[in-house]
Structure 1
Amino acid sequence: MSEARLITIKSSLARQIQEPGGRTVREAERRASQEIEVHRAPAMAAIGRALEELDALVTEASPDSGARVYALASQIIDVGGYFDLGPLHEAVYSLCEIADRMMGQETWHWPSVEVHLRAARLILAEDCRSSRASENMLNGLRAVAARITQPTEVAAG
């Protein structure tokens, strides 16, 4: 019986990794951050336009606008996902949650949507930085979202 031999084949990638030089992980991360940062201004402008569309929907307060509210809030999260939006992310995520909950109801509680929209605008105006004011707004939005969780309170309120 012959003895089994193990043959190791090195790929070109394995050889390249072992060669000195190249970029460190830290350098690659720094360069990637710089490249993404170039797109911050257009992304913030797109978020601003989505907030304007949401404002128009709140003004209209049509029962058919619910799905559009969710879609626009999701769009903000998608566009902003590459950047640190700080408290704006939480505010808009909360808007997505309440929109999702209200889509299953007969009537919408538009003031809840409006409160989320106003908070998002204020946070965006502060360049998405965490502050005492933004934390207070987020606490208020959490209370609104908790209220939306209970459909009987929404219908009565």
Structure 2
Amino acid sequence: MTAGSENPARLFKVRPAIADQIRLPGGKKVGEAVAAADAALDDQRASAVEGLTQGVERLEALCRERSDDGFASVYPIAANLAGTAGFFETGPFYKAVYSLCELTEKLTASGRCDWSSVDVHIRALRLILTTGFEDGPPARAMLDGLSSLVRRVEATP
């Protein structure tokens, strides 16, 4: 249409189908839906823990090899683990794997390769898996130690 046309634009209000479905009687209440979602997550937890275990095993193998090519693989594996760990209740595991991501990101950006610091992180991940994701004072002390490694890398030019 051109300016001055006699057919003005018309607006249509679209009502999503979900709006009608919400108003129907029956169905689940919010609390019931959340409980069902939690139950579905619990069903997947065992396979998620198995995936975390396999990821830690891959990291352990890379750490044993200590190759420059292997170092480039640490971050993607750790990021994948963080994605899974963040979705489930893994407490200190998520924080430790996130710290490993930070560490390898900073090392890579500075062109360095510090397998010793990576090894400490991987050993922490293994310990957290072994203890069933316990989040007590020992885990917090371990996470503080991992954070200090990351800060040391930041401070080193």
What TM-score range do you get, normalising by the shorter chain? 0.7 to 0.9
Task: Check the 8 A contact 1:36/1:82 in 2, yes or no.
Answer: no
Aligned alpha-carbon RMSD (Å) = 1.9
Q: Hey, what does 1:116 align to over in structure 2? A: 121
Runs of 5+ consecutive residues of structure 1 not aligned to the other structure = 1-6, 153-157
User: Which SS does the other structure have where 2:87 is aligned?
Assistant: coil
Change (3 A) 1:111 1:8: closer
Alignment of structure 1 residues 1-157 onto 2, 5 Å: 12-152=17-157
Q: Deviations over 1:9-42 (max 9, x none)?
A: 8665433322332111111011011111111111
Task: Check the 8 A contact 2:85/2:93 in 1, yes or no.
Answer: no
TM-score (norm 2): 0.84
**What is the CA–CA distance in structure 2 between the aligned matches of 1:87 and 1:48, rounded to whole Å?**
15
TM-score (norm 1): 0.84
Question: How many Å apart are 1:80 and its aligned residue?
Answer: 2.4
Aligned pairs, number: 146
Matched to 2:73, the amino acid is: R
Matched to 1:32, the amino acid is: A
Change (3 A) 1:67 1:11: closer
Runs of 5+ consecutive residues of structure 2 not aligned to the other structure = 1-11
Question: Among the aligned pairs, what percent are the same residue?
Answer: 35
Task: Check the 8 A contact 2:97/2:121 in 1, yes or no.
Answer: yes
Deviates more, 1:33-42 or 1:97-106: 97-106
